[in-house]
Structure 1
């Protein structure tokens, strides 16, 4: 099918062994955003001023991490659940390696004339509890998001993309936030129970809000990729187990 032609509806199995022009680039973008969000934003609580409310805390990672969910939506919508599953496992493996590398590099004894070790530990030191919570939340949330989106696409015959992306984000991001914040920060020093659940709910609402705001961009990207690839994938006979990378 030539580029720019109307994409044809195909089963996910039809893609087996076929060359996809942009799939690898989307995978790379997903993994890059995932790693950077975990390094730069996961442990910091920032605050914004809300009229009539005052200062309201939120996790700094909210600024960019939801983009990975939007890319996950694009992957499932354009390439199907199985290929989104492979990307999720790639992201999960990269996160595990990042945590291991951070632990090794921080643990290396610094040179006597290098005085930045405390600052380096503060920025890149990985608390095992936070790493564990992050990986559990990412794995569960991403698979729930992709599963819900794929099922809704079949159920709606591909209509109402906005409803499917927002609906899957409500569920997937809800699972992600519900797992991450209690596992990472409940009863931790500096985190009251109220703060944990305040940030949890705030994160969830802001993530869904990001999805809503970026819906026009999602439409543009999904439409462009479907036309470029020449297919519109439906997971009608897909094996939805998360434990596998076969496509």
Structure 2
């Protein structure tokens, strides 16, 4: 694909995924000093999340932009590129952990505590993001086939809900134990908060997504040509 913008978007997407899989190894509890709730199996003492909560939604925003402007095939290549980079990162962390440490190095245990759980997060991230991003892109593209250039907001919202729900459930089911989550209540907290938070963030920043998508459609030579070649009624 000859495009001045697609490689930049792909690099941003892969970078966000890689950073999220590292920062996500830290368990985080927000507002535990005042937020307490007991409803059935849900016992909430603060919001249980991880260190990637503020960054990961950006991956779905970038996925929406790529899918809307460049199509499902381009997004599939982007997902596979991210998959390859995350596998390489996991292999590098594993090899580095098992290299013999120098006598003067006293950070082996700390390094293992952070990088050692990355393979489990890698599996969770890969499974969640492959399922979620594919569904997100597929739903958005299929809806676009029906609506054309209209109702971008509906495509963004509905594809986000479907993709984020699948991603969150799959990711949390695999990653929860690596964070030390051991109770059903904490797992529900982690899963529900993750889904609601990521979905709300995407909805709140939808005006930004709109602006980026519309700018790219005007700036991208291949998209302008496709619109020019599309017959009008």
Deviation at 1:27? 0.5
Answer yes or no: is 1:55 the counterpart of 2:38: no
Deviation at 1:191? 2.1
SS at match of 2:103: coil
SS at match of 2:106: coil
Asked whether the equivalents of residues 46 and 60 of structure 1 are also in contact (C-alpha less than 8 Å), the reply is no
For residues 34-58 of structure 1, give each alpha carbon's deviation from its aligned partner in whole angstroms, at most 9, with x where no partner exists.
1001111244233236768562222
Q: 1:229 — aligned with what? A: 220
**Unaligned segments of structure 2, at least 5 residues:** 38-44, 228-233
Q: 1:32 — aligned with what? A: 15
- Among 58, 67, 76, the residue aligned to 1:67: 58
Q: 1:5 — aligned with what? A: none
Asked whether the equivalents of residues 21 and 121 of structure 2 are also in contact (C-alpha less than 8 Å), the reply is no
Q: Judging changes above 3 Å, is the alpha-carbon distance between structure 1 residues 215 and 229 closer, same or farther for their aligned structure 2 residues? A: same
The whole-number CA distance in structure 1 between the counterparts of 2:178 and 2:24 is 20
For residues 179-215 of structure 1, give each alpha carbon's deviation from its aligned partner in whole angstroms, at most 9, with x where no partner exists.
1111222698542122112110110000000101110
Deviation beyond 4 Å, 4+ runs, structure 1: 49-54, 186-190
The whole-number CA distance in structure 2 between the counterparts of 1:178 and 1:202 is 11
Q: How do 1:46-195 residues align onto structure 2 when only pairs under 5 Å count?
A: 46-48=29-31, 55-126=46-117, 128-185=119-176, 189-195=180-186
Q: Which deviates the most, 36-45 or 111-120? A: 36-45
Q: Judging changes above 3 Å, is the alpha-carbon distance between structure 1 residues 73 and 113 closer, same or farther for their aligned structure 2 residues? A: same
The whole-number CA distance in structure 1 between the counterparts of 2:124 and 2:212 is 31
Deviation at 1:59? 2.5
Aligned residue-pair number? 217
Which structure exhibits the higher relative contact order, with contacts defined as CA atoms closer than 8 Å and separated by 6 or more residues?
A: 1
Q: Judging changes above 3 Å, is the alpha-carbon distance between structure 1 residues 41 and 128 closer, same or farther for their aligned structure 2 residues? A: closer
SS at match of 2:102: coil
**How high is the TM-score relative to the length of structure 2?**
0.85
Q: For the aligned residues, what is the CA RMSD?
A: 2.2
Q: Judging changes above 3 Å, is the alpha-carbon distance between structure 1 residues 28 and 141 closer, same or farther for their aligned structure 2 residues? A: same
The whole-number CA distance in structure 2 between the counterparts of 1:44 and 1:223 is 37
**Unaligned segments of structure 1, at least 5 residues:** 1-17, 235-247
The whole-number CA distance in structure 1 between the counterparts of 2:155 and 2:9 is 20
**How high is the TM-score relative to the length of structure 1?**
0.81
Q: 2:3 — aligned with what? A: 20
